Amino acid sequence: MMETPHPIRVMVVDDHAMVRKGLATFLRIKVDLELVGEASDGEEALRVCEQVQPDVILMDLVMPKMDGTAATQTIRERWPHIQIIALTSFQEKKLVQEALQAGAISYLLKNVSVDELAEAIRAAFAGRPTLAPEATQALIQTASQEPKPGHDLTPREREVLVLMVEGMTNPEIADRLSVSRSTARAHVSNILSKLGVSNRAEAVALALRCELVS
């Protein structure tokens, strides 16, 4: 267990009174953790946070008025030294992504054990993330489902990309494919747009890196 000169100051944000009560009881039995504030929604969390300035916040995500993701983003913008652990019953991919993008350092489900939660709080205080296995799985699934760059290129655009990789200019591409120069230019412009790059060199580098051309 990490030793700190003072107890880690923890705030609990949850719209269910019983959950807050349970977390308060848990925090009382850990000598290195101290409950310094509670809130029942995101709006109240901002007010209490300003007053008590906790080290770590246990943040529910699905709440009335202002949800936990919005509250997390605002708190992290105003007080970047405060670490936030998303503590929720939900493991949807979208929620996991949104909470982490908003600035939560950790994502845990409410079925976590008392000791695991205590360790996650200590880790967050030290700047180390903790992810529930379900959250990690959700992120892995999301990453594997992201389409490969160039997935939306038409057969003609792929032809043009091959010629770009060969180093051909727009006029040379037009001649090779027996199309007008404006058509060739339009194809190149579409390719840059679909690949999300700003110039031919970046397009060629991406095509080679992602093996878009054989």
The predicted-structure confidence for 184-210, as pLDDT tens digits, reads as follows 999 999 999 999 898 999 999 999 988
For the segment 59-107, what is each residue's pLDDT rounded down to a tens digit?
Answer: 999 998 899 999 999 999 999 999 999 999 887 888 888 999 999 999 9
Q: How confident is the model at residue 182 (pLDDT cuts 50, 70, 90)?
A: very high
pLDDT of residue 91: 79
Q: Which of 171, 170, 214, 175 is nearest to 192 (CA)?
A: 170
Instruction: Tell me where in the chain the CATH 1.10.10.10 domain(s) lie.
Output: 155-209
The yes-or-no verdict on residue 55 having pLDDT over 90 is yes
Distance in angstroms between the alpha carbons of the first and the last residue of the chain = 54
**Alpha carbon distance 140, 91 (integer Å):** 13
Average pLDDT rounded to a whole number, residues 44-54: 96
Q: Is the pLDDT of residue 175 over 80?
A: yes
- As annotated, the residues of the chain forming the CATH 3.40.50.2300 domain(s) are 8-145
* pLDDT value of residue 187: 96
Res 143: pLDDT: 67
- pTM exceeds cut of 0.85: no
Class of domain 155-209: mainly alpha
Out of 3.40.50.2300, 3.40.720.10, 3.30.470.20, 3.40.50.2000, select the CATH number for domain 8-145: 3.40.50.2300
pLDDT recorded at residue 144: 67
State residue 145's pLDDT score.
Answer: 65
| pLDDT more than 90, % of the chain | 73
Measure the CA–CA gap between 2 and 63, rounded to whole angstroms.
32
Dig out the tokens for 102 from the structure.
Answer: 């908003």
CA dist 178 and 58 (Å) reads 64
